[in-house]
């Protein structure tokens, strides 16, 4: 089997445009881009979250050690 030629690719592209229309394809690409941006934002939030959790855990440990010394 061989790779599709330029005419095969053009025919497939025309069929896709006829079936879905330009508006639907543009909307779909916009939704994909929005999903990627939201994923990247989530990854940035994940990177900052563990540092905050570590700080909170250190404060709890320090408080527990101070209470043990006082007792």
Domain boundaries, the chain: 9-71
Q: Is 21 left (phi over 0), alpha (psi -120 to 50) or beta?
A: left
With beta carbons less than 8 A apart as the criterion, state whether 17 and 25 touch.
yes
The DSSP call for residue 3 is -
Residue 39 has a pLDDT of 92
With beta carbons less than 8 A apart as the criterion, state whether 37 and 45 touch.
no
pLDDT at 71 over 60: no
CA neighbor of 37 nearest in space, from 25, 29, 49, 26: 29
The reply to whether the predicted model has a pTM over 0.85 is no
Runs of H (alpha helix) within the chain? 6-70
Per-residue pLDDT tens digits for 4-44: 899 999 999 998 888 887 778 788 888 999 999 999 998 88
């Amino acid at each position: 089997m061989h790779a599709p030629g330029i005419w095969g690719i053009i025919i497939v592209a025309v069929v896709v445009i006829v079936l879905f229309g330009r508006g639907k394809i543009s909307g779909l690409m916009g939704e994909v881009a929005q999903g990627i941006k939201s994923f990247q934002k989530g990854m940035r939030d994940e990177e900052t979250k563990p540092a905050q959790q570590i700080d909170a855990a250190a404060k709890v440990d320090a408080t527990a050690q101070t209470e043990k010394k006082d007792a």
